[in-house]
């Protein structure tokens, strides 16, 4: 009995895919030369099963902020000062991130105050960084409320002392199905070296 390993489960032709590719490539290696006059024949195309796949992820019905709150409001703000190496955590009134996958865009960024640029805020970390953790949690299925927790682990070797804030980008879905973008911004905080 064979064990189903990564190669067998994740390749189109099973556990011997690499050996088959090497065999076919070596048989046509002379055609790879820039002076070659012949080209290998086109083989069969692999099947396109993208429209045949089933999704068992339930659709987002709607998002709603809690009473007297708005999307992007801060539920738990940052402290005024953190030592480098501490975890900076903030929570926002959120919406389901599946409303907009934000391809090539961010759900969360850490912004630094840049004094050389007349007090402009510059994004120095985003949610592609291992040290910035984005967590979404539904707080009520019935009401459609949720929250987002963003944590910056400042043990990050590139974290520099300075003044920072955390920004959250979200998209809320109404009962009518309309999706609306919104933002949330934490308070400002100071990151200082351990020896200060």
* Residue 61 placed within a domain: no
180 in the same domain as 83: yes
- Same domain assignment for residues 7 and 98: no
pLDDT tens, position by position, for the chain (196 residues)? 455 566 556 677 777 788 888 988 888 888 878 888 888 888 888 888 878 878 888 889 999 999 999 999 999 999 999 999 999 999 999 999 999 999 989 999 999 999 877 879 999 999 999 999 999 999 999 999 999 999 999 998 889 999 999 999 999 999 999 999 999 999 999 999 875 5
Evaluate whether residue 133 is within a structural domain: yes
Q: Do 49 and 88 share a structural domain?
A: no
CA angle 56, 141, 94 (to 5 degrees): 95
Q: Residue 180 domain-assigned?
A: yes
Best CA proximity match to 88, nearest among 132, 136, 135, 152 = 152
Structural domains in the chain (count)? 2
Residues 146 and 105 in one domain: yes
Is the Cβ–Cβ distance between 72 and 107 less than 8 Å?
Answer: no
- Does any domain span residue 60? no
Residues 101, 36, single domain; the answer is: no
Question: The pTM is what?
Answer: 0.73
Give me the domain span that covers residue 102: 74-192
- Expressed in percent and rounded to 5, the helix, strand and coil fractions of the chain are 15, 35, 50
């Amino acid at each position: 009995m064979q064990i189903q390993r990564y190669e067998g489960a994740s390749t189109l032709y099973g556990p011997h895919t690499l050996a088959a590719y090497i065999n076919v490539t070596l048989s046509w290696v002379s055609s790879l030369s820039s002076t070659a006059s012949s080209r290998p024949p086109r083989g069969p195309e692999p099947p396109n099963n993208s429209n045949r796949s089933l999704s068992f992820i339930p659709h987002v019905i709607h998002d709603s902020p809690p009473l007297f709150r708005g999307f992007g409001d801060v539920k738990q703000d940052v402290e005024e000062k953190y030592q480098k190496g501490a975890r900076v955590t903030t929570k926002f009134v959120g919406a389901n991130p599946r409303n907009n996958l934000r391809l090539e865009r961010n759900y969360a960024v850490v912004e630094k105050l840049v004094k050389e640029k007349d007090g402009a805020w510059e994004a120095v970390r985003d949610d592609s960084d291992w040290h910035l953790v984005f967590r979404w949690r539904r707080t009520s299925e019935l009401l459609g409320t949720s929250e987002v927790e963003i944590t910056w682990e400042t043990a990050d070797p590139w974290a520099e002392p300075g003044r920072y804030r955390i920004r959250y980008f979200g998209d809320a879905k109404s009962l009518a199905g309309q999706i609306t973008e919104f933002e949330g911004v934490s308070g400002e905080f100071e990151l200082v070296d351990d020896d200060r």
